[in-house]
Amino acid sequence: MTRTYPAAVWLNPVPEPEWDFTYSIQMVRQLMGGRMYPLTLEGLDRAMRELVR
């Protein structure tokens, strides 16, 4: 996924502490190369910082 779209991140609406309990979230995290962020103000800030690197 990240080879096709190198400037991509995933904003996840599920709270970050719950990510390890859902298999599909783990799969998306792996497909995104770890570039998954919570849909919060802090998560948006971290995602934007990732995208401008």
Residue spans of the domains in the chain: they are 10-51
* pTM higher than the cut 0.85: yes
Q: C-alpha 47: how far from its chain's center?
A: 8
pLDDT score of 53: 85
User: pLDDT, tens digit, for every residue of 1-53?
Assistant: 889 999 999 999 999 999 999 999 999 999 999 999 999 999 999 999 999 98
Name residues whose C-beta falls within 8 Å of residue 1's C-beta, 6 or more positions apart in sequence: 8, 31, 32, 33
pLDDT score of 34: 94
Angle at 7 between CA 14 and CA 11, to 5 degrees: 10
Task: Report the alpha-carbon distance of residue 41 to residue 31 in Å, rounded.
Answer: 23
Task: Report the alpha-carbon distance of residue 7 to residue 5 in Å, rounded.
Answer: 6
